[in-house]
Amino acid sequence: MIIDTHAHIDFDEYANKFDEMLEAANNNHVEKIIIPAVEPSTFDRILKLAEKYENIYCAMGIHPSEAKTYNEEVEQIIIQNCKNPKVIAIGECGLDYYWDKSFNDIQKEVFKKQIKLANELNKTLIVHDREAHLDTITLLKENILPKTPVVMHCFSGSYEFGMECIKEGYFLAFGGVSTFKNAKKVHEVIEKMPLEFLLLETDSPYLTPEPFRGKENQPAYLKYVVEKIAQIRGLSTTEIEEITTRNAKRAFKI
């Protein structure tokens, strides 16, 4: 059984087929799914799903591209929502210099605040880092407490950067990109990293693995990621399932 540690299944795409999507996930060994938050208007619907379904957990936080929506009031809502035991993490939060570099300073400030929230509320931190590796790890090193687990969602750095993260105890999560032929850097990290820091995720509805690349993603497709990682590491899919599930339970304390 596997855990999809990052799937936006609260998005409208799934509204009319939610139970089918969950059933397909279950039929493909996905036993638990974690929904990260993106911006405040999605908090309630995410919480409702986590409360309704035993195998769904969630995070509360603000995506770097939505950093301008973070304020004192939103922070109080996050703190309040974190009292719910199904909220197991803060995120996804971090830095994204790919889409829009015009408010990097706001992104950094909001990331820092959420690192501190994870520390104070005893939650795991789900980190989104896109083309911002140096600033991301600098802010993490300066602000994270050793007791706070960190998950580098959709890890896209080099092997060297990956090892720098692992030295700090951070987990690296991989999804559909690992099945892309041209993802040489990602393949190298997966091939050489210590397996006890590897997590699985789909980032549904994005980053759909081969052979469905370009179409809408769903947690059931995690099996293609498992197959690819098993192939890279020369292990069985069962071994990859067991190792990554054990890691996810450690990373999210579930």
Q: Which residues bind Ni ion (CB under 5 A)?
A: 203
Distances (CA, A) of 55 to 3, 33, 254: 10, 6, 10
The residues near 9 (Cβ < 8 Å, ≥ 6 apart) are: 18, 21, 33, 35, 49, 56, 204, 218, 219
Residue 8 CB, nearest approach to Ni ion (Å): 6
Q: Which is nearer to Ni ion, 42 or 245 (CB)?
A: 42
CA distance 254 to 68: 31
| C-beta of 37 vs 226, nearer to Ni ion | 37
Residue 116 or 130 having the CB closest to Ni ion: 130
Q: Which is nearer to Ni ion, 66 or 203 (CB)?
A: 203
Residue 234 Cβ vs Ni ion, minimum distance, rounded to whole Å: 30
Minimum CB distance to Ni ion, residue 242 (Å): 25
Pick between residue 129 and residue 203 the one whose CB is nearest to Ni ion.
203
Residue nearest to Ni ion (CB): 203
Quote the least distance from Cβ 180 to Ni ion, whole Å: 17
Q: How far is the CB of 110 from Ni ion (least distance, A)?
A: 16
